[in-house]
Amino acid sequence: MNWKTSALLSTLYDHAVQNRALSSLGARVLWNYDIDHLRSTIATQDPHALTLDIPCGGGIAIHGTRHVAADLSQIMLRRARRRTATLLQADLYALPFPTSTFDACLTYNGLHCLDDPATALRELARVLRPGGALTGTTLVRGTNRDPLITLFQHLDIFGNPGTTDDLRTWLTTAGLTAIDLTRIGAVTGFTARK
């Protein structure tokens, strides 16, 4: 299964995420995660900051007029179009922006789907302006949900999620500082600065 081409997977995922009751139940049952953490993180975004949101999925984090929503999947971009017109199909490993373009970068619930999250984080750090913030969430190993993560890997839905310690190392290696990690269940929320 491929996030870029699987219409069924993308549509089902986005429908669940957009539905408040389904997303709360799914996050709690699957990952022992309180999705209100994600909602409160999204609510604190600066609507005036030039922001890159990748993968944007169906657009739940779109907030403000200076928000660039990007995703590898055209299916997800079509779903995000209902929230913004500033959409771009882009590969997280090779962003089509000059160095130091954005005030903020967001990457919610996408790193665990990648084969090389460390490279993706370096690329996000590259397009951040000095002083800019990177904010996101990702599923991590090292919890009692590892068998489910392994199953999703075998189904080719997930890539190579690391542990919370791996995430800290990847952020540090990307040249980011002021790293703050918050693990809730199998999900770690993070912020860091360039």
**Pairing outcome for strands 128-139 and 87-89:** unpaired
Tell me the domains of the chain and their CATH numbers.
Answer: 7-193 (3.40.50.150)
Task: Give me the pLDDT at residue 6, please.
Answer: 65
Task: Give me the pLDDT at residue 64, please.
Answer: 78
Task: Give me the pLDDT at residue 1, please.
Answer: 45
Low-confidence ranges of the chain (pLDDT < 50): 1
Cis peptide before 98 (omega within 30 of 0): no
N residues, the chain:
194
Say how far apart CA 8 and CA 84 lie, in whole Å.
23
Question: pTM above 0.85?
Answer: yes
Our CA dihedral for 173, 89, 108, 148, rounded to 10 degrees, sits at -90
Sequence-distant (6+) residues with CB within 8 A of 103 are 46, 49, 50, 51, 128, 129, 132, 133
CA R_g for the chain: 15
Task: Give me the pLDDT at residue 8, please.
Answer: 64
Say how far apart CA 76 and CA 6 lie, in whole Å.
10
Task: Give me the pLDDT at residue 4, please.
Answer: 55
In Å, how far are 13, 46, 150 from 52, measured between CA atoms? 21, 12, 30
Say how far apart CA 75 and CA 116 lie, in whole Å.
22
Say how far apart CA 184 and CA 192 lie, in whole Å.
18
Among 16, 29, 14, 21, which residue's Cα sits nearest to residue 69? 14
Task: Give me the pLDDT at residue 9, please.
Answer: 66
Q: Are 13 and 7 in contact (CB under 8 A)?
A: no
Place of tokens 């957009």: 18
Task: Give me the pLDDT at residue 102, please.
Answer: 98
